[in-house]
Structure 1
Amino acid sequence: MSSSDTESLHRTVTLRRTDSIPTSSRVRHVDQLSEEALTRFLEVVEAGSTAVREDMELADGDVIIHTGYFYVSYD
């Protein structure tokens, strides 16, 4: 595995509440996430934390609908 592969595995995703949805965003409801991604997403939301692992199958710019809108961005 190259160092760039290792670095990409260690990136984090930030979830932040938003009131608006960019027109370029893919909008997904929590019911559309895999069981593993949903579990991780809910853990982060319930803990009040914003950093989650990249392997949650979320893309930069996605908006996830849960109890509000959560915008996904990569750090």
Structure 2
Amino acid sequence: MPAEDAHRVVCHLDDLLAERGMTLTALSDAVGVSVVNLSVMKNQRARAIRYSTLTAICDALGCTPGDLFSVESPTVNGT
């Protein structure tokens, strides 16, 4: 399995921001994380997240980690 396909975790940050009428810049200001790092997460390119960052994002968005992330079902033989 290639490194970029090593996980099935999907980030729903874009949806949560849209539902709340919040911009990535506003979230960045609220949680103290750079727009670039939040963008990496939003675009499914993040490889890890600190618990403190996760907690701050959930507090700012009024959500839980389960709202922010989900796990896709595994595919069998790449299908």
Structure with the higher fraction of residues in strand conformation: 1
TM-score by length of 1: 0.34
TM-score by length of 2: 0.34
Structure with the higher fraction of residues in helix conformation: 2
Larger Rg: 2
